[in-house]
Amino acid sequence: MTEEKYNGYDPSIVYDYKDHPDIKSGRCDNCDKAQFKSSVKDFVYIRECRNCGMKKSI
């Protein structure tokens, strides 16, 4: 079994893209995966990583 290495972002917090832009465009800053699920609530677009759960409002 392999351990996943994350960069210490808390998946319960929704980070703002303006304050935390992508380190690598289109990839999660926490686990470096490129698969996301997205949702819109109150005209705010939320992008959530399918692997680690890190969320950003875009």
Ordered DSSP codes for 32-48: ----EEEEEETTEEEEE
Within 10 A of 6 (CB to CB), how many other CB atoms are there? 15
53 found inside a domain: yes
The CA distance from 38 to 5, in Å, is 23
8 found inside a domain: no
42 found inside a domain: yes
Q: Which residue has the tokens 């960069």?
A: 7
Q: Supply the pLDDT for residue 8.
A: 86
Q: 8-36, pLDDT tens digit by residue?
A: 899 899 999 999 999 999 999 999 999 99
Report the half-sphere exposure of 48 (CA within 13 A, side-chain side).
13
Range of the domain at 18: 14-57
Query: Does residue 2 carry a pLDDT above 70?
Result: no
Tell me the pLDDT band of 3, cut-offs 50, 70 and 90: low
45 found inside a domain: yes
Q: Supply the pLDDT for residue 54.
A: 94
pTM of the model: 0.83
